[in-house]
């Protein structure tokens, strides 16, 4: 083997390892993002009231954004 062949083999090995590390980084970042999104809890607000003035009072005091 000449030194040129050895150098070419080394460069190829470094390039392959670099590509593998980039792929692993993206996979781990995607997994972490999915895990974080899976842990978020959605907010549910239920407002019960009689029809009339009490209903308007309950709607005006509701902290959630309007859904309808």
pLDDT tens, residue by residue, 16-42: 999 999 999 999 999 999 888 888 776
Indicate whether 68 pLDDT > 90: no
Say if CB 21 and CB 29 are below 8 A apart.
Answer: no
Confirm whether 7 is domain-assigned: yes
**Count of structural domains, the chain:** 1
- Residue with token string 């959630």: 64
Task: State the pLDDT at residue 63.
Answer: 65
Confirm whether 40 is domain-assigned: yes
List the domain range (segments joined by +) for residue 37.
3-61
The predicted model gives 52-68 an average pLDDT of 62
Residue bearing the bigger pLDDT, 46 or 9 = 9
Alpha helices of 1-68 — where are they, by DSSP H?
A: 3-38, 53-61
C-alpha angle with apex 45: 41 to 48, nearest 5 degrees?
155
């Amino acid at each position: 083997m000449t030194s040129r062949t050895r150098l070419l083999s080394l460069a190829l090995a470094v390039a392959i390892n670099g590509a593998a590390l980039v792929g692993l980084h993206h996979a781990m970042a995607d997994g972490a993002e999915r895990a974080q999104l899976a842990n978020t809890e959605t907010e549910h607000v239920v407002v019960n009231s009689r029809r009339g003035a009490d209903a308007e009072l309950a709607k005006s005091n509701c902290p959630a954004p309007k859904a309808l």
